[in-house]
């Protein structure tokens, strides 16, 4: 008698590998057992190794807060501000480099460890908000043997005295890591209900959003980028009617060529998603049953809920108050140092050479370089590299590596066979990016290695 198929989840991004379905994009046929996957296989979404996947136990209880608290030191060798992916990854990398370091992590929320990318694909995976947490802050702190202070807002940083003031007291440090992430941007609109527009940038916000979904039928998404597109498909899979108000002329216009966008748009329309291009929300007013929206084109739309997904803005207020150099983000060098050599910044709040990379893969390289640099490797450094992105759009497999910075180049079609497309971003004869769809996504990793491996 054959064993039932099992599911495994990526600890980094929340992608689920279902043995019954396999992963044909990366050459794994339906029915491929996890144990039979080659060791050099990687997560198709965030590119971590097979070892970063864990078995989903359907009988596993949700993460609890019963774990005994570790004593928090007010005098830390390494003080980390922020409990998002960057903050916890930094703690893990530092602990691997130094088993004796006194590490304290401060967070304004409850510090729950969860895969943030899962927020835009949980509905299609039949996962509730309670299914997403992997560990409480206390559980993770116990695992890494560090102190964590939750519900603690940092008010200021004194870089001269090497002290951080918070709502629960002061903390001194030898080295400080700022991992404050980014906040969701909100469009400014007229009308009496603009303040009721929602965003999803963390698990707490997603929990409120998920609860609201149980009693509504229609959502209007403001935005046409990566997250907005993923959310549109995820919502439609949940039986929600979706309108998308998109400023540009096609989906993901900043990172994806129009040819692939057109195919994806056709797929979304087949799922019932209403795509409204070249349109910007200008007014939002309350009605008896929901909201009435008005665009800059004079069009009006009724909806039950408005969800903004127009991008994120690095949280740099703390750094600015501390008189650290900032631009779009907190300015860092290749060792992730800020303008103060004892203060570091990583993740969505950090900027190197004018570029903020708000993706998981660069964060992993940042924390690796930072931990190595802190403990003796003077040559350790973080390089800016284009990111390999897999869109969470089940209706069409897409993998992108857009150029790191905007140039005067253009997308050039290399292969086009139906929805199987390969386009190269070329500036003259130089290729600085690519986009693949359909069956051609299987070659993404090889193409990325050929373009960017040193």
* CATH code of the domain in which 353 resides: 3.50.50.60
Task: For residues 135 and 241, state if they share a domain.
Answer: no
Does any domain span residue 68? Answer: no
Report CA 15 to chain centroid distance, whole Å: 12
State whether 198 and 118 are in the same domain. no
Say which CATH number the domain at 430 has.
3.30.390.120
Q: Are residues 202 and 240 in the same domain?
A: yes
Q: How do 420-427 and 430-437 pair as beta strands?
A: antiparallel
* Residue 379 resides in a domain: no
* CATH, residue 31: 2.20.28.10
**177 and 195 together in one domain:** no
CA distance 287 to 284: 10
Among candidate residues 257, 286, 310, the one where a domain is terminated: 310
Please indicate, yes or no, whether residues 297 and 194 belong to a single structural domain of this protein.
yes
Chunked mean pLDDT (size 10), the chain, 454 residues: 84 84 84 90 81 78 52 92 97 96 97 94 92 94 96 97 96 98 96 96 96 96 97 96 97 95 97 97 96 97 98 97 98 98 98 94 95 92 93 94 88 94 94 94 89 73
Contact 175, 344 (CB under 8 A): yes
Does 225 lie in the same domain as 153? no
Q: Given this model, what pLDDT does residue 405 score? A: 84
The helix (H) or strand (E) run that includes residue 293 is strand 291-295
How many domains does one find in the chain?
4
Element (H, E) at 96: helix 85-97
Question: CA dist 233 to 199, 247, 311, 338, 367, Å?
Answer: 17, 18, 18, 39, 32
Domain boundary among 310, 326, 355: 310
Domain presence at residue 279: yes
Give domain status of residue 1, yes or no: no
Tell whether 106 and 152 lie within a shared domain: yes
Q: Which of 2, 7, 35 is nearest to 21 (CA)?
A: 7
Q: Which residue segment(s) compose the domain that 12 sits in?
A: 7-55
Q: What is the pLDDT of residue 3?
A: 84
Residue found under tokens 């303008």: 339
173 & 192 share domain: no
- The tokens 């949700």 sit on which residue? 62
332 and 412, same domain (yes or no)? no
Residue 33 domain-assigned (yes or no): yes
Q: Rounded to two decimals, what is the model's pTM?
A: 0.91
Note whether residue 448 is domain-resident. yes
């Amino acid at each position: 008698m054959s064993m039932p198929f099992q599911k495994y989840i990526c600890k980094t991004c929340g992608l689920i590998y279902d043995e019954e379905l396999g992963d044909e994009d990366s050459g794994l046929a339906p029915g491929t057992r996890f144990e039979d996957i080659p060791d050099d296989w990687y997560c198709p979404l965030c590119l971590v190794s097979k070892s970063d996947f864990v078995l989903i136990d359907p009988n596993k209880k949700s993460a609890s807060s019963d774990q005994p608290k570790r004593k928090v030191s007010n005098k830390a060798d390494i003080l980390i501000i922020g409990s998002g992916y960057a903050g916890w990854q930094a703690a893990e990398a530092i602990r691997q480099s130094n088993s004796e370091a006194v590490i304290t992590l401060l967070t304004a929320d409850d510090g729950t460890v969860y895969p943030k990318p899962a927020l835009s694909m949980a509905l299609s995976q039949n996962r509730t908000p309670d299914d997403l947490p992997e560990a409480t802050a206390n559980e993770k702190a116990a695992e890494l043997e560090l102190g964590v202070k939750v519900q603690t807002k940092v008010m200021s940083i004194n870089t001269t005295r090497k002290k951080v003031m918070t709502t629960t007291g002061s903390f001194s440090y030898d080295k400080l890591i700022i991992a404050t992430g980014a906040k969701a941007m909100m469009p400014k609109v007229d009308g009496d209900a603009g303040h009721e527009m929602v965003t999803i940038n963390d698990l707490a916000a997603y929990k409120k959003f998920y609860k609201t979904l149980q009693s509504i039928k229609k959502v209007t998404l403001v935005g046409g980028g990566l997250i907005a597109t993923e959310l549109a498909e995820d919502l439609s899979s949940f039986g929600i009617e979706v309108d998308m108000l998109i400023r540009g002329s096609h989906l993901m216009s900043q990172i994806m060529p129009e040819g692939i966008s057109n195919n994806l748009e056709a797929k979304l329309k087949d799922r019932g998603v209403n795509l409204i291009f070249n349109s910007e929300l200008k007014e939002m007013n309350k009605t008896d049953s929901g909201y009435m929206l008005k665009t800059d084109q004079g069009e009006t739309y009724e909806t039950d809920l408005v969800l903004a997904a127009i991008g994120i803005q690095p949280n740099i207020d703390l750094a600015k108050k501390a008189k650290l150099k900032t631009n779009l983000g907190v300015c860092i060098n290749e060792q992730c140092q800020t303008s103060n050599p004892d203060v570091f910044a990583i993740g969505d709040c950090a900027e190197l050479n004018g570029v903020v990379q708000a993706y998981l893969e660069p964060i992993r390289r940042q924390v690796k370089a930072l931990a190595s640099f802190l403990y003796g490797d003077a040559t350790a450094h973080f390089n800016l590299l284009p990111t390999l992105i897999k869109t969470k759009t089940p209706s069409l497999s897409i993998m992108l590596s857009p150029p790191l910075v905007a140039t005067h180049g253009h997308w050039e079609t290399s292969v086009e066979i139906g929805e199987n497309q390969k386009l190269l971003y070329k500036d003259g004869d130089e290729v600085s990016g690519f986009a693949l769809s359909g069956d051609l996504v299987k070659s993404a990793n090889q193409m990325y290695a050929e373009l960017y491996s040193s």
